[in-house]
Chains A and B, each alone.
Chain A
């Protein structure tokens, strides 16, 4: 009897402990998401509150899916993420390997690397808007003073260069996450397999490819998971640097839904876009999180 009571209690305790977290998430995220789903099925406009009660089915979704501008922004978002994440990973890996090789000042270097991580995205955006400004920016100013170019390069005014600039800002902000976690992985690596491989005659590339890389992959997945939790941080950067311009050339799905929702007050359509962007982010996180779990199992550390 006592035993029965104990197990019942043991089953209840964790749920009780988790209750505040679950309630918070349901109230602040799940409930709004349900509301958002309903709103995306109405022609709701902020200026006409009664329109929230009109059900129009999936017309908002049909409209955005047949809209070329939406697909352009969507494709641009995917391209932006693909470039930024790959560059961040490769650069982070390079930095981690580099610092791992260095014998002095590792801790200082690691501290310096942490700083971009802690910058507010809005500050990163502002900082690079300041630096890339074609007229007063330090970059053009320095290039001109060094005699590399005598013209003002329109970093944020030309569509392609603007895209490059926001990717640069994004990479600057987020590479550290990868570098720091991969470095932690390198630090945690056992020495024996490395030496055994060298004795067996593996060259540096083989050692890296077959021993180092598999060992640090779980750390890369942690970094990917953390990054995927807030890929939409890029909204802040783009918002302050270009606001989607010039002529919509840097419009991402996030800036587009903000424009449609708040500036044009077309909440119904904006919520439909928000749903697409939410599914994108959630799928992304799900993918890397399951990779992380699989990597943990592989390492034998699960449960």
Chain B
């Protein structure tokens, strides 16, 4: 076999492998999204209909209770709860994480590594295992089924990882910059806001998106700590569609789209910084 042919075969092989891979990665999600825009009849059709023949927004109308819907699921309040809880917990976690990340990036102090490890290990406690004592404590404090109850939990869920990421971003900024500013008369506080914060801003935004998505997607704790439209989030609301024996597939797909779209947009916007943050924070130490 000639060299050129061999090389061409290899190129084709690579191409086919990549194609198969991308299909496996994309098709499951795509199938859910496509199903959200078609009537139930088409979802159940055999053989399968891939491209919707009668695209419709009925599934969305139905879950929002528009038109002749019998089972209106309060998607709007779930969406609102999810937004409020994820936003608030992200902002609080970012402030705590910035302070902590700065401390790890810029100071030497006793037990530094142990404290870092300790924070990570607290993060490792499985959500469902943590939910048991939190459920008992929160119900005694009246925090069950409140947005506040979930916000507090999510802040603690996000703080360790936010610190990890932000620590990495601050480390990439040469310490000499802020020292120069301090020589020129800035206090350390001013130097932080004028020099280091603007430079680390995109990284901090990426950490924020990561925290937001963790809260947005969380299920194990939310499913036990929420009860009603007062605090139920979208992932918990998704389970409303599973009645005892039947599942409203079309409605569920529509709701899935509502959960996916904000997550995908945010991920797309910050993906570059996210990868940089994960690797620099981790490897350069």
Residues of A at the B interface (CB closer than 8 Å) are 10-11, 13-15, 17-18, 20-22, 24-25, 27-33, 35-36, 39, 95, 98-99, 101-102, 109-123, 126-128, 130-131, 136, 138, 141-142, 144-145, 172, 176, 180-181, 184-185, 188, 218-219, 222, 225-226, 228-233, 235-236, 239-240, 254, 257-258, 261-262, 267, 270-271, 273-275, 277-278, 281-282, 284-286, 289, 292-293, 296, 299, 301-303
A-B contact pairs, 10 of them (CB 8 A): A21-B159, A25-B160, A118-B264, A126-B32, A144-B47, A235-B127, A274-B129, A282-B124, A286-B117, A299-B283
Which listed residue, B14, B25, B130, B283, touches A98 by the CB 8 Å rule? B14
Residue of A nearest to B217 (CB): A120
The minimal Cβ–Cβ distance linking B251 to chain A, given in whole angstroms, is 11
The minimal Cβ–Cβ distance linking A86 to chain B, given in whole angstroms, is 18
Contacts of A226 in B (CB 8 A): 278
Contacts of A29 in B (CB 8 A): 122, 125, 130, 156
The contact string, 1 if C-beta is below 8 Å from chain A, for chain B 82-121, is 0000000000000111011011101101001101011111
Question: Are B28 and A142 interface neighbours, CB within 8 A?
Answer: no
Question: Are B122 and A130 interface neighbours, CB within 8 A?
Answer: no
Residue of A nearest to B188 (CB): A13
Contacts of B160 in A (CB 8 A): 21, 25, 229
Give CA–CA (A239, B221) in the complex, Å: 13
Contacts of B148 in A (CB 8 A): none
The minimal Cβ–Cβ distance linking B26 to chain A, given in whole angstroms, is 7
Which listed residue, A20, A112, A181, touches B26 by the CB 8 Å rule? A112
The minimal Cβ–Cβ distance linking B253 to chain A, given in whole angstroms, is 7
Question: Are B268 and A28 interface neighbours, CB within 8 A?
Answer: no
The minimal Cβ–Cβ distance linking B110 to chain A, given in whole angstroms, is 8
- B126 close to chain A: CB less than 8 A: yes
Contacts of B136 in A (CB 8 A): 35, 39, 267
Given contacts A111-B268, A271-B132, contact A232 B28 (CB under 8 A): no
Contacts of A109 in B (CB 8 A): 18, 22
| Stretch binding the partner chain, chosen from B66-74, B175-183, B194-202, B255-263 | B255-263
Given contacts A98-B14, A127-B28, contact A24 B156 (CB under 8 A): yes
Contacts of A36 in B (CB 8 A): 129, 132-133
The minimal Cβ–Cβ distance linking A3 to chain B, given in whole angstroms, is 17
Question: Are B264 and A115 interface neighbours, CB within 8 A?
Answer: yes
Contacts of A176 in B (CB 8 A): 25
Give CA–CA (A218, B9) in the complex, Å: 33
The minimal Cβ–Cβ distance linking A207 to chain B, given in whole angstroms, is 17
Given contacts A126-B238, A185-B279, contact A282 B125 (CB under 8 A): yes
Give CA–CA (A225, B160) in the complex, Å: 13
Contacts of A13 in B (CB 8 A): 103, 107
Give CA–CA (A176, B257) in the complex, Å: 21
Contacts of A15 in B (CB 8 A): 103, 109
The minimal Cβ–Cβ distance linking A77 to chain B, given in whole angstroms, is 11
Residue of B nearest to A99 (CB): B18
Residue of A nearest to B209 (CB): A118
Question: Are B285 and A303 interface neighbours, CB within 8 A?
Answer: yes
The dominant DSSP class at the B interface is helix
Give CA–CA (A96, B133) in the complex, Å: 41
Residue of B nearest to A21 (CB): B100
The minimal Cβ–Cβ distance linking A84 to chain B, given in whole angstroms, is 15
Residue of A nearest to B214 (CB): A230
Give CA–CA (A180, B271) in the complex, Å: 11
- B254 close to chain A: CB less than 8 A: no
Given contacts A28-B156, A119-B260, contact A232 B216 (CB under 8 A): no
The minimal Cβ–Cβ distance linking A36 to chain B, given in whole angstroms, is 4
Question: Are B123 and A229 interface neighbours, CB within 8 A?
Answer: yes
Contacts of A141 in B (CB 8 A): 46-48
- B31 close to chain A: CB less than 8 A: yes
Which listed residue, B31, B220, B278, touches A222 by the CB 8 Å rule? B278
- B155 close to chain A: CB less than 8 A: yes
Other A-B contacts than A122-B238, A127-B31, A142-B47, 20 sampled, CB-CB below 8 A, are A14-B106, A14-B112, A18-B99, A18-B100, A29-B130, A33-B133, A39-B136, A112-B26, A114-B267, A119-B260, A127-B29, A142-B48, A219-B279, A219-B282, A232-B128, A235-B220, A254-B220, A261-B132, A274-B128, A278-B126
Residue of A nearest to B98 (CB): A17
Given contacts A21-B97, A24-B155, A33-B125, contact A118 B103 (CB under 8 A): no
Contacts of B118 in A (CB 8 A): 25
Contacts of A239 in B (CB 8 A): 219-220, 223
Give CA–CA (A176, B274) in the complex, Å: 13
Which listed residue, A30, A123, A278, A292, touches B238 by the CB 8 Å rule? A123
Contacts of B204 in A (CB 8 A): none
Contacts of A281 in B (CB 8 A): 124-126, 129
Question: Are A118 and B121 interface neighbours, CB within 8 A?
Answer: no
- B4 close to chain A: CB less than 8 A: no
Give CA–CA (A261, B95) in the complex, Å: 35
Residue of B nearest to A256 (CB): B128
Residue of B nearest to A275 (CB): B129
- B239 close to chain A: CB less than 8 A: yes
